[in-house]
Amino acid sequence: MGLIEDEVNEVSRLCCNVIPNSKLITCMTSLIRVDINQTNSRQLTVCLRFPDEYPKNKLLTEFKSRSMSITFLERFTKVCDDKAVEFVGKPQVMGLLKFVDTYLRENPLCIVTEEIFNVKKLLSVTSGDLKLRQKSSSILLTAKGGPFYISAKFHVPEQYPVERIQWDDCDCNLPQALVRFVNGQAKEIARQCVEAPLKKLKTNPEFQPKPSLERTFRFIIAAMKGFPEELCPSCEKLALPSTSQAVVETDADDNFLIRMFCGHIYHQGCLKKFMSEPPFPPGGKICPAKRKHPRSDRNHCGARKQSVSDKSELCQQRVTHDKWGLNDVKSAEAKWAHQQARVRELEEVIDFLQ
Ligand SMILES: [Zn+2]
Ligand SMILES: [Zn+2]
């Protein structure tokens, strides 16, 4: 008899041939249920019901997915609802299924909808910009802090989140030392999302890869926001200059910046002075910064969580850097003693001459 029965028969005949990687789970006049499996992360179950007075009215559509976010499913339901208007008055099921399949294929970033949504929310209170490139499955992030910016194109691979987001170069007007830090640390964060730590692998073999996009972007955005406000712990003036043109890239300059293991950024001249003058504590020089750095290397190495007694505001980490090892402190101490001896000698000479 009915138009609906004819359509159900046609769907059961055509569905799997017309829509690649689809599986017809239920095909009845009360419900049509189709699984679409494009990739591990682009998996969707489409549930369709025929409304009263079909096909004058739109099909009732519902989506379920284990891999895709609620945010995406809610938005996508609206998109499909709008699209369904075009099919009113004729058989709708195959048209709608084809639309769903094509949409997922042409919008590969749909698997990061929720993360993009959260990053956009964050960018609305800091400064920066996101541009989506669905065709190449990539996202252009620009994060800003004062006169400084970083901008890079991040690719979301088909096997995301099992594989991490990827990027090559970034465009950035910070001093090179800071560009290297942001880029390197961001890569490390993304890597840790998908690779189990070697130690943990033995005790906990059930490592689950985590989505890397939002975590990585949050780090970059926070770092960029923080840089222009950071003080050199030694002179307590802003570490970065007030314009990007004034950035110093020659490491002979006193205003050349050095980022220490504790996360704080020193002017090279201030650091040299600080390292070469007393006191010389036995364990090495301690960073005098008034607060702990939120992006210290220690935090990111996961070396140890801060204990309750460790919550003091001061940095108090040993000042270490490839350029300024413990030996430098010892030789600085010796140099200082030598200089002081010279000063005393000179004073004696002056005394003698008077
Ligand atoms: Zn300084
Ligand atoms: Zn410090």
**pLDDT tens, residue by residue, 194-250:** 998 776 656 667 888 999 999 999 999 999 999 999 999 999 999 999 999 999 988
Which of the ligands is closest to the CA of residue 232? 1
Decide: helix, strand or coil at residue 258: strand
Rounded to whole angstroms, how far apart are CA atoms 113 and 63? Answer: 15
Query: 170 forms bridges with which residues in the sheet?
Result: 152
Cα–ligand 2 centroid distance for 319 (angstroms): 7
CA dist 46 and 86 (Å) reads 19
Instruction: Quote the CA–CA distance of 110 and 104 in Å, as a whole number.
Output: 7
Average pLDDT over residues 279-303: 79
One-letter amino acid identity for 263? G
Q: Where are the beta strands (DSSP E) in the chain?
A: 22-27, 32-37, 43-49, 60-64, 127-133, 138-145, 148-155, 170-172, 257-259, 265-267
Residue ranges of the chain that CATH labels 3.10.110.10 = 3-106
Q: Tens digit of pLDDT for each residue in 45-86?
A: 999 999 999 999 999 999 999 999 999 999 999 999 999 999
- Ligand index nearest the alpha carbon of residue 273: 1
Ligand 1 midpoint to CA 229 (Å):
13
b/e code 285-313 from CB counts within 10 Å (16+ = b): bebebeebbebbbbeeeeeeeeeeeeeee
Closest C-alpha among 110, 131, 108 to residue 217:
131
- Count CA atoms within 13 Å of residue 80 on its CB side: 28
What is the pTM (predicted TM-score) of this model? 0.84
Residues whose Cβ atom is located within 5 A of ion ligand 2: 262, 264, 287, 289, 315
CATH superfamily membership of 3-106:
Ubiquitin Conjugating Enzyme (3.10.110.10)
pLDDT score of 306:
47
Q: How far is the CA of 320 from the centre of ligand 2 (A)?
A: 9
Mean pLDDT, the chain, rounded, equals 88
Question: How much helix, strand and coil, in percent to the nearest 5, is found in the chain?
Answer: 45, 20, 40
Task: Quote the percentage of the chain above a pLDDT of 90.
Answer: 69
Which residues face 139 on adjacent strands? Answer: 132, 154
Distance 198 CA to ligand 1 centre (A): 39
CATH numeric code, 111-228: 3.10.110
Q: How far apart are CA 342 and CA 336, in angstroms?
A: 10
Residue 133 has pLDDT above 80, yes or no: yes
Q: What are phi and psi of 64, to 5 degrees?
A: -135, 150
Q: CA 153 to CA 162: how far, in whole Å?
A: 19
**What's the 274 CA to ligand 2 centre distance in angstroms?**
13
155-176, pLDDT tens digit by residue?
999 999 999 999 998 999 999 8
CA of 340 from ligand 2 middle (Å) equals 28
CA distance 264 to 315: 9
Residue 189 neighbours by CB under 8 Å, 6+ apart: 212, 215, 216, 219, 300
